[in-house]
Amino acid sequence: MPEIRIRTLEEGQVPAWSDVLISSATFTALPAWSNLVRDMYGYKIHGFEAIRDDEVVGLLVLTHVQHPIFGNYLTTAPFGSYGGFTYSTLDARDVLLEKAQALANELSVEYVNVRFEAGSESPPNGWLQHPIYSTYCADLNPDSEKLLSTYGSDHRNHVRKSLKKNFSVKFGHLDLLDDAYEALVRSMHELGSPYHGKKYLRAMAESLGDKLEFAVLYNAQKKLAGAGVFITLGNTVTNLHANILRDQRSDYAGEFLYWSVIQRYSQKGFEIFDIGRSLNGSGNETFKMKWKPRKVSLAYWYYLPKGGPIPELNQKSAKFQLAIRIWKILPAFVVRALGPSLIRGLA
């Protein structure tokens, strides 16, 4: 069998990838996403293709993050859940991972993190797995009643109750930018997390074009109740961000938003709703499992050139728990000013 060679992607190069590779790598591997991250935060993007007989059999897109608080590292799928790494053969996988190790050593980073769907595969020598995240993929069906019947009785009841609360939802693009940002930044503050600036959401919408939709939820008084960012690729719609304001949750606003999204994209012909990443065992996971998705464990593989522990940049970390508690009590003007400079390090 011919050997695999590595080809470096040049900035601005339009890659010729198969639909299968693109689907597996997700939107976070696309040039539009890389350009967004590069233009917004100034991070260097390193893209590589594994080639056999002039056919691309694997790809790896790494972002070099340098942040005064969160460190110096390489990662796939910046500001997304997973993706940016895929392959059709194990030898292609291993050649790309060797390239990632060589780049890490060259740049003297603290670690490399590749985030992707690997099934039951174990990482090769030199890599460590940190299996704490999953994503949740629900099958869509244009027959709403048939789909609703697959849910548990309590969840069906909550969905139906939400439909009686006079919520309304708007789907759109830059026309909804202001309301989408306002709902997301406020809800993230309530959760104790920083969020991007409005210009990041604008740039994302402009970069992805009709592949992105904002959804904004309003209550009966036409006040903001929540919002989401949804990205389409192939037959899948992905929930990038979706949050509900705290005072709206008791009226099942989350159920209304998700059910509206499911109905919309089912009618548009999409087949899968990727509900998004959550920590295993978290409350978010409990909510997502009510929609009867397939739980897909995500491979979070780490290469640590200098050894040491796997970085704990998640809510299970005691340091993060303290930061979350502090962030929740900060005034809004401080949160909005500091948020973008902090979250840029949490790629």
Does residue 253 sit in the same domain as residue 303?
no
DSSP 245-299: -GGGGGGTHHHHHHHHHHHHHHHTT--EEE---EETTSHHHHHHHTT-PEEEEPE
Q: What is the pLDDT of residue 315?
A: 75
Distance CA 230, CA 259 (A): 14
- Residue 226's domain comprises 135-296
Q: How many folded domains does the chain comprise?
A: 2
Does residue 124 sit in the same domain as residue 252?
no
41, 73 contact by CB (below 8 A): no
At residue 321 the predicted structure's pLDDT band, cuts being 50, 70 and 90, is confident
Tokens of residue 57, six digits: 């059999």
210 occurs within a structural domain: yes
Does 14 score more than 80 pLDDT? Answer: no
At residue 314 the predicted structure's pLDDT band, cuts being 50, 70 and 90, is confident
Q: Is 194 helix (H, G, I), strand (E, B) or coil?
A: coil
DSSP 290-336: TT-PEEEEPEEEEE-TT--PPP--STTSHHHHHHHHHHHHS-HHHHH
63 occurs within a structural domain: yes
Tell me the whole-structure pTM to 2 decimals. Answer: 0.94
- Going by C-alpha positions, the residue among 235, 237, 179, 188 that lies closest to residue 212 is 237
Counts for the chain of helices (H) and strands (E), in that order: 11, 16
- Going by C-alpha positions, the residue among 26, 286, 268, 294 that lies closest to residue 141 is 268
Does residue 150 sit in the same domain as residue 257?
yes
Does residue 191 sit in the same domain as residue 108?
no
What's the CA angle centered on 113, arms 314 and 53, to 5 degrees? Answer: 150
177 occurs within a structural domain: yes
Q: How far is CA 259 from CA 142, 143, 262, in A?
A: 12, 13, 5
Residue where a domain stops, chosen among 296, 319, 336: 296
Tokens of residue 23, six digits: 């689907």
CB atoms within 10 A of CB 72: 15
| For range 188-214, the mean pLDDT | 96
Residue that has been written with the tokens 């959760």 in this structure:
191
| For range 187-201, the mean pLDDT | 95
| Residue 286's CATH number | 3.40.630.30
172 occurs within a structural domain: yes
Q: What is the pLDDT of residue 63?
A: 98
99 occurs within a structural domain: yes
Does residue 142 sit in the same domain as residue 268?
yes
Q: Interhelix angle for 332-343 vs 177-191, to 10°?
A: 90
289 occurs within a structural domain: yes
Does residue 284 sit in the same domain as residue 147?
yes
What is the Cα 29 distance to its own chain's centre? Answer: 12
- As a residue count, the chain comes to 347
| For range 186-204, the mean pLDDT | 96
At residue 316 the predicted structure's pLDDT band, cuts being 50, 70 and 90, is confident
Residue 125 exposed, middle or buried by CB count within 10 Å (0-12, 13-18, 19+): exposed
- Going by C-alpha positions, the residue among 176, 171, 175, 173 that lies closest to residue 267 is 171
Does residue 147 sit in the same domain as residue 290?
yes
Does residue 234 sit in the same domain as residue 109?
no
Distance CA 296, CA 287 (A): 15
DSSP 207-237: HHGGGEEEEEEE-TTS-EEEEEEEEEETTEE
Does residue 142 sit in the same domain as residue 288?
yes
User: Residue 311's beta-bridge partner residues?
Assistant: none
Which range is least confidently modeled, 4-13, 76-85, 275-284? 4-13
At residue 120 the predicted structure's pLDDT band, cuts being 50, 70 and 90, is confident
Determine phi and psi for 31, rounding to 5 degrees: -55, -35
120 occurs within a structural domain: yes
Does residue 113 sit in the same domain as residue 252?
no
**Beta-sheet pairing, 272-274 with 133-139:** antiparallel
Distance CA 234, CA 128 (A): 31
Q: Measured on CA atoms in the order 8, 44, 279, 163, is the torsion positive or negative? A: negative
52 occurs within a structural domain: yes
Q: What is the pLDDT of residue 318?
A: 74
Does residue 278 sit in the same domain as residue 178?
yes
At residue 186 the predicted structure's pLDDT band, cuts being 50, 70 and 90, is very high
Does residue 105 sit in the same domain as residue 200?
no
